[in-house]
Amino acid sequence: MIRMPGKKKNPLWRSFGYAFAGIWTGIRKERNMKIHCTALLMVVIAGIAFRITVSEWCICIVLCALVMSLELVNTALEAVVDLVTEEKKPLAKIAKDTAAGAVLIAAIASVIIGLLIFVPHIAGWFIQS
C-alpha cells in the first residue's frame, strides 16, 4: 500500500477492527455468507459428534476458511464493480461471474471432501448400532 508522506499508519488493533467489521458486514448483508456460516456450524457439530481426527479438523477448518474468504472477496469485488458502474458492461459481468465461480469451485470441492471425511464416520455409526 502506498502511503502519503507524513501520514502515519493505523495501529494494528485498528486494522483488525476493520477486518472484523468487513467479516460482520459480509455475514449481515450477504445471503451466501449466511449459508456458509450455517454450513460451518453443521461441520463443527458433525465434527464433535463423530469425533473426527485432528487432521480431519484441519482439513475442515482450511476448507471453511477458503470458502468464506472467497465469498468475502467476491462481495468486495462486486461492491467495487457496482461503485465504478451501474451500467451493464461485459467486463463488469466477467469480473462478477468469475469471482462467483471461484467461490462455487471451492464450495463444491469442500462438499466433496466433506463427504469423503464424514461418510465413513456416518457409516461406522450405523454399523456399530
Active site residue 71: yes
Answer whether residue 109 shows pLDDT above 90: yes
The pTM of this model reads 0.86
Region 72-86: mean pLDDT is: 95
- What is the rounded CA–CA span in Å between residue 59 and residue 105? 16
Which of 71, 78, 86, 87 is an active site residue? 71
Cell of 50: 463423530
Inter-residue contact 9 to 3 (CB < 8 Å): yes
The structural domains of the chain, with segments of one domain joined by +, span: 12-128
Which is higher by pLDDT, 1 or 107?
107
12-128 under CATH 1.10.287.3610, yes or no: yes
